[in-house]
Amino acid sequence: MKTTIAVAAIVTSLCTPSSPYAADPQLGRNLAATCANCHGTDGRSVGGIDSLAGQPKDTLVRKMTEFRNGSRPTTIMHQIAKGYTEQQIDLIAAYFAARQ
């Protein structure tokens, strides 16, 4: 098995593009998809938790900042918001703001 895995590894590296991991243009979409479990696919909630789709970017960034600094009442968002960088929150907010 060892040899087979080693061969597979070489093959993988041979066929990987020279700069395999450049910044992905879909980064905002991918990051926003981590919120969908609670806020709905593309931020369109089916109920019980607010939709994020269509909220202005600045509003979303402000709310996330308030979650992070503890000035907005929350059960869970303070813990989630602290897991993302400011740049990531910016990308997420831009993505949701662009969903009509």
Q: Which token pair is 69? A: 């600094």
Q: Which amino acid is at 80?
A: I
The answer to whether 28 contacts another protein (rule: CB under 8 A) is no
Nearest to residue 91, comparing CAs of 60, 54, 66?
60
The answer to whether 53 contacts ligand HEC (rule: CB under 6 A) is no
Contact 32, 88 (CB under 8 A): no
The answer to whether 69 contacts another protein (rule: CB under 8 A) is no
Which member of 57, 84, 98, 99 binds another protein (CB under 8 A)? 84
Which residues of this chain interact with ligand HEC, rule CB under 6 A? 34-35, 37-39, 49-50, 52, 60, 63-64, 74-77, 80, 84, 92
